[in-house]
A and B are shown apart, each in its own frame.
Chain A
Amino acid sequence: MSVFRGNAKEKLMARDINPGPTTSCMRFVAQVGRGASFARDCFLGMFRPPYDTAELLTQMDELGAKSLPVVGATGLVTGLILAIQSRPVLARFGAESYVPAMVSISVVRELGPILTALMVAGRVGSGMSAELGSMRVTEQIDAIEVAGIDSFRFLVVTRVIACTLLLPLLTAIVNILAILGAYLPAVTEMHMSWKLYFHRAVYSLWLRDVIPAILKTGVFGFIIGVIGSHQGYTATGGTAGVGRASTSAVVIASLLLLFTDMVLAKLIVLLWN
């Protein structure tokens, strides 16, 4: 049995440095609970006007327009690689002509949504968390509060709305660019005409491929907004704390996106197919 000698504050500090498994577990459960409560407040806040229109437009520009080059490049390159890789494999089964359909279905149903979400989580989630974290540790969030303005609505709800609305739009753009990207190998290696490529890529898509996939990106946007905001808004521990918040925002959001995607994929297959 170890006996701790020291005052109450030292005892607390020692417990922080070497937390036992029970303490760590309880902390984790408490953190998950606080995160869930934060997400619930965000969700309810999204449907409660008034909205700070100026801040919402600023965030839409920041999260949407400025993410376009990164996610656009991702879409274009993904489509191109997918076509290059799939052509020889499909050729083994004499199904080379299915390359456009395979690219469009796999991009629209899965790759477009998840890759866009992961890219946005990396770019926007970390930026959002760093910005809000800096505002927290320099008392700028307190300054908004003492001005009699609800900082949660002003800073968090606007960002979550912007992410939720813009991710479906960004995903649609990524899907289009990926299908365009795959056209290059199709024309150079398979000598397919644009008309034939377009016909096979687009007409092989059904509404049940497109609609659920676009809808799930709204959920992905909500997750990115909530995790990025939560990590920043609740950051503590000065600049080191802001760094930690920024890193954990990307890690948590990425893992949660993949897990949610897995659940939604199964759900979509059950309900729509």
Chain B
Amino acid sequence: MELIEIRNVMTSFDGVSVLRGVNLTVEKGMTAAILGTSGAGKSVLLKSIIGLLTPDSGSIRIDGKEIVGMKSKDLYAVRRRMGYLFQGAALYDSMSVRGNLEFALRRRETLDEDEMERRVEEQLRLVGLADAIDRMPAQLSGGMRKRIGLARALITRPEVMLYDEPTTGLDPVTGREISELIQNLQRQHAMTSIAVTHDIACARIIADRVAVLNKGVICFEGTLDATEHADDTFVKQFFALG
């Protein structure tokens, strides 16, 4: 069953086309990685899926509900079923790690303080940072920030998870750790996910299927193994260099 359906999405900024008719479907429980070079429009596509950007035309459906042109009240309801890991983690820098994790819970759910504390501690244990609970974001390294960003996104138990460049800016060892953490959490939570990345190693660990975005269109869709037999010149070059 298809949980995310993207049909002929076109987006431009100041007359410059970024997405020129993107088509993609992701089945329930699957993880898709969208690969492409920097500036290919991967993040634009991901932000369009969660409604932060509105495409010029096309259709984006989450569990059958059309996101494009949706009223903001309904869009918030759809977003509450989703989680998003930002490229720079986007932690609320005026709040501690605890404040970051509690932020959505306090405003969306009616939990008592003990249950809230239990959920926060559980999530921090899952990402291996239980002792960072009272630290401020400025006191965390890049890898730690990604982990906390991940914990913050997952604490509301989303059905759909979107990852924007989860390993960018990290050293290879930390990047691999984050990729493996995502893979473990995917298995535990059985979520439907899309990750945009240019890191083939990350895609190899976390993704069931990959799609390659080039010049605003998906030029390849399939398994990573199938990329070896792809006809598209860009796909061949991308994986040969990666």
Give the interface of A toward B (CB within 8 A): 8-9, 12, 52, 131, 134-135, 138-140, 142-150, 154
Contact = CB atoms under 8 A, between A and B. Distances in A.
Given A8-B15, A12-B14, A145-B79, A138 B108 contact: no
Interface string B43-74: 00001001010000000000000000000100
Contacts of A145: 52, 79
Given A9-B16, A148-B76, A139 B90 contact: yes
Nearest to A12: B14
Given A8-B15, A149-B104, 11 more contacts: A8-B16, A134-B93, A142-B86, A146-B50, A146-B79, A147-B79, A147-B108, A147-B156, A148-B80, A148-B108, A149-B107
B16 A143 contact: no
12 contacts: A8-B16, A9-B14, A9-B15, A12-B14, A12-B15, A138-B93, A142-B52, A142-B86, A143-B90, A144-B103, A146-B82, A149-B104
A148 B79 contact: yes
Nearest to A58: B94
Contacts of B77: 148
A239 to B, nearest CB: 14
B9 to A, nearest CB: 18
Interface string B148-184: 0000000010000000000000000000000000000
A149 B76 contact: yes
A149 B90 contact: no
Interface string B79-97: 1101110111011111000
Contacts of A147: 79-80, 103-104, 107-108, 156
Interface in B95-111: 103-104, 107-108
Contacts of B91: 140, 143
Closest 5 CB pairs of A and B: A148-B80, A139-B90, A147-B104, A143-B90, A146-B84
A12 B14 CA distance: 7
Given A139-B90, A140-B90, A140-B93, A146 B16 contact: no
* Most chain B C-beta atoms within 10 Å of own C-beta, residue among A12, A131, A135, A149: A149
Contacts of A148: 76-77, 79-80, 104, 108
Contacts of A146: 50, 52, 79, 82-84
Contacts of B83: 146
Contacts of A8: 15-16
A142 B90 contact: yes
A154 B107 CA distance: 10
B121 to A, nearest CB: 20
Nearest to A143: B90
A146 B80 CA distance: 8
